[in-house]
Every structure is written in structure tokens, then in C-alpha cells.
Structure 1
Amino acid sequence: MTATGLWNIAVDLPDHPAVVDPDGAVVTYQELAARADRYSRGLQALGLTRGDTVVMALPNSADLLALYFAVLQTGLYVVPVNWHLVGPEVAYIIEDSGAKVFVAHSRFTDMAIEAGGKVGAKFSVGEIPGFTPLASLGASAGRGRPSDRTAGAPMVYTSGTTGRPKGVRRPLTGADPDDVPPASMWFFGIFGIAPFDDHVHICGSPLYHTAVLNFAGISIQMGHTVVLMEKWDPEEMLRLIQEHKVTHSHMVPTQFHRLLALPEEVRSRYDVSSLRVMIHGAAPCPLETKRRMLDWWGPVVVEYYAATEGGGTSISAEEWLRKPGSVGKAWPGSVVRVLDDDGNDMPVDEPGLVYMKMGASTFEYHKDKAKTLAARVGDLFTLGDVGHLDSDGYLYLHDRKADMIISGGVNIYPAEIEGELAVHPKVADIAVFGLPHEDWGEEIKAVVQPAPGVAPDDALTAELLEYARGRLAKFKLPRSIDYVDELPRDPNGKLYKRRIRALYLA
């Protein structure tokens, strides 16, 4: 039987496709391993040693994955940055992480030049003034595997919803990088995904997201071909699923919503029978959206709730139909508890802050001990999500504590309101938040992005509020609805709600 791991597969199955680039070019396991080896030799020739950091701002590509694996076999940390950030934001991450190398793509030239001023070594895919071509990294530093191999790790920066983003940094393990970490095999095993087995993974979200990078990286380690999309498009995804006989992916509810918005004749045009497990997380999924996806794709839609920091839950399609709205039970080895403000367990069905941990896994927010401690109760940590556990141990999420609206002394969760209105056919996207109110403390504001061709007028407001009255208690109804051409979301579906609210507060 062929061993797992990029470099083992490159020896045993050198011509097996590892990556299909967005332009359709196929990169084999042998080619991907060779490129990673070259970058590894180059990084070591620059003097980087165990624990040093590389920052990369690259679009989805085999180059990004080769650089990622280069770092994973040389004991370095790799920081994939959101290339939608502006120069000063990326410069902060470069400085905070102590990066010795910065790699960027020429399509982000302005940001890269502004951000990379103080970095000792800068490389580019395409031409960026002052940067060296990435293709030259390691080209004159010998041949074969790098001389000193030890496992590195990603260091992902949190989104920074309050204050500056912070890097989640775990101790390096010192493991052999040719061995697939048992945690990776275990994680895919939760979803029934085995090595090889004709699996094909499609990646439609940017690889700078933790989960997206993990799914693509583990897929390659397990002998699965990874099909990369540069920019996600619903019909193009269906076409690629059919062409490459895709079996699994990591998705977000926004993508489900846009797939379902395709005309029926378009959806029925493509064969999706190869799908085995389409995993979603990262944001709440409206119940009706989930049901419609299950009706279309069958019981392959699986949900999970987890964090960069560790720990989580999952729920199969069959379980979800019994427990609609749940994000599942704690993974084996994971602990999930719902606590009050004093750190006591909340009763069954009573909401509180969700805390988690994963085995003996440890992490710290880089250079921010205060933030690390503030997120913890004992060895448990929280992301600030509010939820409850039912009598069977299934977790239900309500919303972020920071987004909760308190109106007339009653706790109101915007995610519930968004979930009901998001499935209205005239709504393309929606954000709900609280605004200060003299008598009630806060009032509920909804901002809606109408579906294409829908007029944002008083008639639409009346229709949406009437629709909501049949689904929500009166105290949960928006007091007003405004309209915008487009709501700000990152490419992985996360809504930048605080930006919208800030405009009203200003």
C-alpha cells in the first residue's frame, strides 16, 4: 500500500495529479515535491532556521501550496495573509510575526511594496519592483531534499474584530515532516474521508483561511487531487465538480445560497453524483438553505464548528435532520461546555458562552498574553459565541456575544433574524445589528442587499416585514430596513458587520 504524505507519494506515485491550478494546468506529486524542496533549500540558504517565519500573500495556486509544504519540512512558521488587506495592515503582521521572508504576487504590487519595506528577503510571483522572482529561490542551492528537515507549522492571524489581529502560534513538534500528523488523519476520519480512494478535493475559497488551507494541505498529504479555483463562481464550481469527479470540499453557507440562486435548468445541467462529503462551517447556515442543499445534493452535506485555536463539533446530515439547527456534538477528544459569566455550567437549553478545548493542545496569541488569558476559563477557551447544549449534548449556536442586541432588557440574536430573512427570494444578503435607542437601550436595524432586479422600495420593506412576522416574535422584528448595493464580506463568507454598524454610529 502506498504511504501517505507528499514526499512519500511523490516517490510511489510520481505522476499522480496533486494540484489542478486555476488555469487548468496539472501539477503532479513529483513536481509539487520538487518545487517544495527547491524553496526549502532556498530558505535555508538564506539563513532561516527552526522557528523563523515566512509571510506569503499569494492567490490560490500550486506556488502557494509548494511554499506551504517547503515551510512544513524546514521547521518554519508560515503566515498566509489576506491579500485584501492594505499595505499598513500587512506590514503590521510582517513586523509582529518577525518575518524574515515575504512572498507576494504581482497582482498585489502596491500592497506588497508598501508592506515589505523592512523585510530582509522579498520574493514575487510575477514582477514587483525590489522583489526577487520566486522561481529563483533555491535554484542555485544544490539539489534534492533540504539538509535539515523538521516539521514546521502555519501561524494564522485572527481577523482582529477588536483591535489588532493576533497570530495563533503553537509550539513546533519536532516531528518528521514526511509523516502525516495523526491529528490530520483523525480530522478527516471524522468526516469519513480516507487516504487515496479516488478522492478529489475542490478548493473555492482563498487559501489564506485556516480551514481552507488545512483541507487542501491534508488532502494532498492523503493522496487526493486538489482542484483550485481562483475566484469562486457557482456554475463554474458545478462544472469543475462534473469534470474532475470531485468528492469533497470545504464550503460556507454563502456559497450554498448562491448555488441555490442559480436557475433550476442550470443546476440540473451538471452531474454532482461524485460528491461524497461537502463540509461546511465558518458561519451560521439558515435552516431552509441547509434543507434545500440536502434535497439537491443528498446526505453528503456535513457541518462542523471549530476554531483555529482548537476543539470543535460536527454533525452528519442524518443527525441534522433529527436536530435541525445544531452544529453537532463534541469531537472525540474535544470538550465543549456552555458557561455563565462566572465560569459555571449553564443548565440544559440555557444559553451562555461556548467554551472548548482539544485534548492537551495548547496555543497562545503571539505577543498577547492578556488576550490569551481573557479567552480562557481554566484550560478552556472561547471565541465569544453564545449557544446552548441540549439534553443529548448537541450544541446550538445563537450568535456572537459581541453582536447580541439587548432591547428592553431582552437578549436578541441577530443571526436568528438574518437566518429567517436570508431565505426570502428577494434578499441576496442581509446584516442585522443593534443601534442605540433612548428608551429601549438598542433597536434592531436590518441592512439588505436586494436580489438582482428587485427594487429597494417601501413595498419591499413591507413585504419583508410581513414575511418576518410569520417567522419571528414581534420583539425580534427589525424596526427599520435600509438597502445597499452590496454588503461587505470577505471571500470566505464572513460578514464585516462592524463596518456597517460603524457607519450608522458615525
Structure 2
Amino acid sequence: MPIHAQLLRHATERPDKPALAIDGRSLRYGELSLRAKAIYGFLQELPHSTRRTLDLPGVEKLAALSLGNHIGFAEYFIAATAWPHAAAVIDPMMPPERIERIIERLAPDVLIVDDEASPSAEIGRRLGISVITAGAEPFDFTETEGDLPDDAEGIFLIGFTSGTTAEPKAYYRSRGQWRRSLDRGRVIFELEDAPSTMCPGALAHGLALYAMVEALDAGGTFYSVRKWDAEAVARTLSAEEIERLVAVPTHIAGISRAWAAKPALTSLRDVLTAGAKLDVNGVESMRRLFPKARIREYYGASEIGFMTVSTLVGGAVDFPIDRVGQAYPGVEISIRDPDENNVGTDVPGTIFVRSDLIADGYLWGDDGQAFRVTEAGATVGDLGELDENGMLRVIGRAGGMMISGGNNVYPAEVESALKACPGVDDAVVFGLPDAYYGQRIVAVVSGEATDPKILADYCADKLVRYKIPRQFYHIGSWPMTSSGKIARGHVETAVISGDDLVLRLSA
């Protein structure tokens, strides 16, 4: 990880300061440093995988972490990303068959899990991979000779992001990219005095993972929860007088509802959101809940990093609510037509970025439909427009990608799951505006399957929970285009208008 020198400094100067706390369990900076060194020594002694076919230049050992929000996540992540090693972060809540495909392709030298009986652990053992359960380690944490190596260039992180197919795409990043991002962010987000930070999201996802690393880099205390619980998060924010909250709008809406009858959370000085666009109601709710906080949001992507940042409340100038801000320092944004010509201001097109924060690429899953790098810059296919002041408005996601609860969801993935359900002939999935989720996932199916509970339960066996449709409709005959494809726009319009072409399914 590109913060090892900072961690050593914090551990030396403030060894007893809590580095992170999850559900009442905490780990001090001195402990974190010593435990990470012991784990690093263990990794050094591990035999190399003989099954790996991936080309990972400069990577000696690859550790796959399927830990969830475990108190040991930070120490394993720090050890596994110290040069010359790398970490792959896997969401243990993914369907087991997807986890198995990822682990099989990665062929890591070791798999770290939070439960020896978890699906990830069972998969690792079946594939002949060394499995370590956090909290039941077979090595001595007192064996901590030497320091973790200084940061060096090369791959340190492999992450996974949803694609236009059901298979997650594996992207990889270098230490230098995150080092540059962290150095700028410490100034932009005013982290020099090491504020305490809460991020209740999953550490397997980019928002929470970066928030944790950002807090540790600055020397602050990072707070999270094992499992999302709005009231528990609000209680922690209040009891610990946390100064900074990083969360998707859906989480903040949940905190607001859970804490509605209680005193405002006045310790918060900063609230940073991402993953979905805030609306006016959301901002007003945050004003009441966090009356002393500056409210900011950023727009970015796992593959590109920060693109824009804005201050909606509490800045020298509050940004318009319908914009996601101006370019992040070191980032240049342009809007381009299908031929990648710059269209200028106030004209819609594809958002392109030139930046030194962009990921190196994909290890697999590059479908050419989202992230790509050309002479014009990098893009994830999002559509938007710039005004004369360089303020960016995001219009939508190319390829129909939805953002529900701050999570990226591609229709093709949900449709694939539904089409495998007995009694479903075909399916169309899209998102509709939703005050809570940002976008509500809606599915229209044809065939004999008409029980929404059966459809939802089937999806639950194939998909992460946030990808399960929240409304189901049935259609007897699909409207078709002249080329013989389903007229998806017509189907969506029928749902919105209440056309009797579709029938809403109810239990």
C-alpha cells in the first residue's frame, strides 16, 4: 500500500492512538504496525502459487482478501500491499460461483477469510489454495523483525467492478496512482489535522477502501461497522463525536431516518458523498442532521479515480445542485462526440478525462463498452456536459448502467439471472428515479413466472442483494424494433405511464 512510511511515522509518534474501530473493537497504530509486519513476514515465507497464469510484473506474492469489514482487514491489506506484494480484494457477499471463478483465475498464494466455514474458505480449500482465517492465524505476531519495505512502483491492488456482462471486471492499480491521489486529497479535503472518519460501506468496494486508506495515511481514526445498521452508525457518530463522514447518499438517508427524533450530530465538520447524485431533499436533510458540516460530493470511477469535486454547503461558493463540480486537481475533463471530437461547452457527449490517477487497465473482463483509454483520454462511457465555468453535469450512464444505493448495476447482469429462472422467457431491466436509492431497479419479464417472490428469491441466489429488482412487471408480448430486437424504450415507457401493455406483479 502506498502509505507505509506514513504508517510507520504514526506508529512511532502515536502508538496508542486508535487507528481503526469496528463495532466497538479497536486497533491502535502501534499494534497495527506490528501485526502488519508479522503478516508480511508470513507472506514472505509462503510458497509461490504454481497455478497462476496472470501476468503481474513485479509482484512476488498475491494475497486475496475475502474478509468483509473485519477488524483485521487493515493489517492484512497493509502487509499484502507492501512491496513486492499485491492484494486482491473480494467481496465475500458475492454469489459463491462468482467468487470461485475469481479465485480460480487469480490463483493467489494465499486467501484470507473471516470465517473458516465461509463459502470463500471452502472454495479456496477445494482449489488447493492456502487459506488463513483472520483471528486464528498459524503464525506468531511477536515475530516482527525489520520494517515494511518503502513504497515502490508496481501493482499493489486488484479490484473488481461490475461490467456489462455478469462477470466482474478485474482492474489493477499502481502505488504511484494512489500516492498522488492521497497527497492531493490531504490538502483538498483538509485532512492535515487527522480528523476521525466514519465510512459504513463495504471495504471490498472502492469508496470505503479508499476512505480507510485516506484516514490511515493522515493518521486519523477510521470507524466502520461489520454490517450496515443505520442506527448503529448514527450512535457511533454521536458517541465518538466523529468529525468526518464518507458515505453514499443511501446510507446518509438511512442515518437521517434512524436519528430523526434525536439531537443533531454537531461533531461532524465534513460530510463527503459519492456513488450517486445528491438531490435537493437530500441536501436539506443533511443540513438538519449535520448542521455544522460542510457538505461535499465527488464524482469518480474505480478505474479513473477522482474526476470532480464540489461543495454544496459550507464553501466559499456553494455549487449548483445539478452539477457534480469542477475538475479535481491534476484532472482535465472534455466532452466528446462519437468520433471523439471535443464538442465544447453546453453540448452533451461522452465524458473523457486526462489524469495521472487512472488505473493501468484490466486483468480480465475488458468488454470495450465502459473504461477505455484513447488519444482523447480515458472514459467509462458516462454522458455529460460542461458549462463555461467548467462545471460538469452528468446526464447518465452509457450502456444503461444504473446506480442504486451508490452501487453500479448493469441491466445485462440482472437480466441474465432472471432469464435463467424457470418460467421466464425473456427479461428487460432498467432503473427508475427513486428518492432513497437514487435509482430503483425494475424488471419486466415474459413467460409463465408471475410470482414476484419467486423471481426475487431466484435473483437472490445469483446476485448481490443490491442488484435484486424491487419491482416486477409481466408482459405478454414484447414490442419489437425493425431489426427484431425488443424495443426497450417502449417497455420502460409503458411501466412509467401505467400502460396496460405491462402488468405489475404483486404477491
TM bracket, shorter-chain basis: 0.7 to 0.9
Q: What are the superposed Cα offsets for residues 287-345 of structure 1, whole Å, 9 maximum, x if unpaired?
A: 32233323432452211001122241010024785412211111111122222211122
Contact 2:335 2:349 survives alignment (8 Å): yes
Aligned partner of 1:408 in structure 2 is none
Alignment of 1:377-456 (within 5 A): 377-378=374-375, 380-403=377-400, 418-419=433-434, 422=435, 430-431=440-441, 437-438=479-480, 441-443=487-489
Out of 168, 178, 187, which is 1:165 matched to?
168
Aligned partner of 1:65 in structure 2 is 74
Aligned partner of 2:302 in structure 1 is 308
Q: Which amino acid aligns with 2:242?
A: V
Q: Distance in 2 between matches of 1:442 and 1:370?
A: 21
Aligned partner of 1:76 in structure 2 is 85
Q: Distance in 2 between matches of 1:271 and 1:279?
A: 17
Q: Which amino acid aligns with 2:312?
A: A
Q: Distance in 2 between matches of 1:287 and 1:108?
A: 45
User: Which has the higher mean CA deviation after the structures are superposed, 160-169 or 321-330?
Assistant: 160-169
Q: Which amino acid aligns with 1:442?
A: R
Q: What are the superposed Cα offsets for residues 420-476 of structure 1, whole Å, 9 maximum, x if unpaired?
A: xx26xxx99733579963489334667xxxxxxxxxxxxxxxxxxxxxxxxxx9997
Aligned partner of 1:467 in structure 2 is none
Alignment of 1:101-250 (within 5 A): 101-106=110-115, 109-125=118-134, 133=136, 135-137=137-139, 139=141, 142-145=143-146, 150-151=151-152, 153-171=156-174, 181-196=179-194, 199-250=195-246
Contact 1:169 1:366 survives alignment (8 Å): yes
Q: Give, in angstroms, the shift of residue 107 of structure 1.
A: 7.1
Aligned partner of 2:269 in structure 1 is 276
Q: Give, in angstroms, the shift of residue 202 of structure 1.
A: 1.1
Tell me the TM-score normalized by structure 2: 0.74
Aligned partner of 1:468 in structure 2 is none
Q: Distance in 2 between matches of 1:389 and 1:305?
A: 14
Q: Which amino acid aligns with 1:431?
A: I
Q: Distance in 2 between matches of 1:211 and 1:379?
A: 27
Runs of 4+ in 1 over 6 A off after TM superposition: 473-476
Q: Distance in 2 between matches of 1:374 and 1:222?
A: 30
User: Which has the higher mean CA deviation after the structures are superposed, 117-126 or 211-220?
Assistant: 117-126
Alignment of 1:449-488 (within 5 A): 477=497, 479=499, 482=504
Contact 1:340 1:353 survives alignment (8 Å): yes
Distance 1:434 1:338, change over 3 A: farther
Q: Which amino acid aligns with 1:18?
A: A
Q: Which amino acid aligns with 1:418?
A: P
Contact 2:181 2:357 survives alignment (8 Å): no
Q: What are the superposed Cα offsets for residues 202-247 of structure 1, whole Å, 9 maximum, x if unpaired?
A: 1211100112111111201211011221122222222111111111
Contact 1:88 1:115 survives alignment (8 Å): no
Aligned partner of 1:52 in structure 2 is 61
Q: Give, in angstroms, the shift of residue 261 of structure 1.
A: 3.1
Q: What are the superposed Cα offsets for residues 383-442 of structure 1, whole Å, 9 maximum, x if unpaired?
A: 22222212211111122121189xxxxxxxx77x505xx26xxx9973357996348933
Aligned partner of 2:406 in structure 1 is none
Aligned partner of 1:33 in structure 2 is 33
Q: Which amino acid aligns with 2:84?
A: G
Alignment of 1:232-381 (within 5 A): 232-262=228-258, 266-298=259-291, 299-310=293-304, 311-318=306-313, 321-359=318-356, 361=358, 363-367=360-364, 371=368, 375-378=372-375, 380-381=377-378
Contact 1:365 1:371 survives alignment (8 Å): no
Q: What are the superposed Cα offsets for residues 138-161 of structure 1, whole Å, 9 maximum, x if unpaired?
A: 558x43335755456221112234
Q: Give, in angstroms, the shift of residue 14 of structure 1.
A: 0.9
Q: Distance in 2 between matches of 1:430 and 1:379?
A: 33
Q: Give, in angstroms, the shift of residue 190 of structure 1.
A: 1.9
Q: Distance in 2 between matches of 1:379 and 1:97?
A: 32
Contact 2:264 2:288 survives alignment (8 Å): no
Q: What SS class does the counterpart of residue 73 from structure 1 fall into?
A: coil
Contact 2:201 2:207 survives alignment (8 Å): no
Q: Give, in angstroms, the shift of residue 380 of structure 1.
A: 1.7
Q: What SS class does the counterpart of residue 287 from structure 2 fall into?
A: helix
Q: What SS class does the counterpart of residue 308 from structure 2 fall into?
A: strand
Q: Which amino acid aligns with 1:242?
A: S
Q: Distance in 1 between matches of 2:131 and 2:376?
A: 39
Contact 2:346 2:386 survives alignment (8 Å): yes
Q: What are the superposed Cα offsets for residues 174-219 of structure 1, whole Å, 9 maximum, x if unpaired?
A: x9xxxx93431312322222243xx111121110011211111120
Q: Which amino acid aligns with 1:181?
A: R
Q: What are the superposed Cα offsets for residues 364-394 of structure 1, whole Å, 9 maximum, x if unpaired?
A: 1114666499723325222222222122111
Q: Which amino acid aligns with 1:43?
A: L
Tell me the TM-score normalized by structure 1: 0.74
Give the share of equivalent positions with the same residue, in percent.
20
Distance 1:481 1:261, change over 3 A: farther
Q: What are the superposed Cα offsets for residues 39-95 of structure 1, whole Å, 9 maximum, x if unpaired?
A: 100000114683431111112122111001112223211111111113331122223
Q: Distance in 2 between matches of 1:188 and 1:271?
A: 27
Aligned partner of 1:14 in structure 2 is 15
Aligned partner of 1:453 in structure 2 is none
Contact 1:75 1:172 survives alignment (8 Å): no
Distance 1:478 1:402, change over 3 A: farther
Structure 2 unaligned spans of 5+: 49-57, 403-429, 446-477
Q: Which amino acid aligns with 1:375?
A: R
Distance 1:203 1:144, change over 3 A: farther
Corresponding position: 1:86 with 2:95: yes
Instruction: Give the length in aligned residue pairs.
Output: 425
RMSD: 3.5
Q: Give, in angstroms, the shift of residue 358 of structure 1.
A: 1.6
Q: What SS class does the counterpart of residue 267 from structure 1 fall into?
A: coil
Q: What SS class does the counterpart of residue 215 from structure 1 fall into?
A: helix
Q: Distance in 2 between matches of 1:105 and 1:220?
A: 22
